[in-house]
Amino acid sequence: MVDDREPAARRPGGRTARVRAQVLDATVRLVARYGFAGFRYEQVAELAGVHRMTVYRNWPDREKLVAAALTRFGEQEVPVPDSGELRRDLVDMLLGLAAGLESTTGRALFQVVQGARENEEVRRTVEQVFQRRADLFGQRVDRAVERGELPPVDRRLLGDLLSGPVHLRVGRDLGPVTRADAERIVDVVLAGIRATATP
């Protein structure tokens, strides 16, 4: 059981981190299966193989539990790589995004998110997760601008231009997004950003 005096995020790699990972992974699977409001803490504990009180004590707020779980899913399944080479990293990011969206859990989560948008709590949670991803992506773009790989750019526009086509293709089930697809998207978008930059 996770001790109250040791917040779950504190010791990466330790037992606490392992329990945290188990609980959040279980939560993702249950949200995907039963929706935001449809799963019970008991199910999380059972699926994670931890005591029920561990879940209650460490994530007394259901909304925060779901947000942490979705954030973890996003960071693990759809990382924002930084090898130092912008084009390669963006291509890898889009391939990661496609794989995450195409996965069984990704599809189920997407359904849940789409279907529950009227719910204020769900909306806030999803916004947090998107904001976290947008921040990571923004940091990656800032480093590219600092390195002179890109002109100063509207990070949100860039993010939407890159990931929009991937979301669309996966959403329409038009076969997997290949590396060649991702490269063409990245090449056109980067060329367009450079060509339209105001000096």
Of positions 23, 30, 141, 166, contacts a second copy by CB under 8 A: 166
Per-residue tokens: 156? 């949100």
Establish if 123 lies at the interface with a second copy (CB under 8 A).
yes
Q: In the complex with a second copy, which residue's Cβ is closer, 68 or 161?
A: 161
Of positions 53, 88, 157, 178, contacts a second copy by CB under 8 A: 157
Establish if 112 lies at the interface with a second copy (CB under 8 A).
no
The DSSP line for 114-142 is HHTTT-HHHHHHHHHHHHHHHHHHHHHHH
Spell 2-41 as b/e; 16+ CB within 10 A means b: beeeeebeeeeeeebeebbebbbbbbbbbbbeebbeebeb
Of positions 6, 160, 178, 179, contacts a second copy by CB under 8 A: 160
Establish if 150 lies at the interface with a second copy (CB under 8 A).
no
The candidate with the shortest Cα–Cα distance to 27, out of 65, 61, 79, is 65
> Measuring CA to CA, how many Å separate 23 from each of 34, 98, 129?
16, 25, 17
Establish if 161 lies at the interface with a second copy (CB under 8 A).
yes
Establish if 130 lies at the interface with a second copy (CB under 8 A).
yes
Give the span between the Cα atoms of 19 and 1, in whole angstroms. Answer: 8
Establish if 185 lies at the interface with a second copy (CB under 8 A).
yes
Taking the complex as a whole, the smallest distance from the CB of residue 89 to a second copy amounts, in Å, to 18
Residues that bind a second copy (CB under 8 A): 110-111, 114-115, 117, 123, 126, 130, 154, 157, 160-161, 163-169, 171-173, 184-185, 187-196
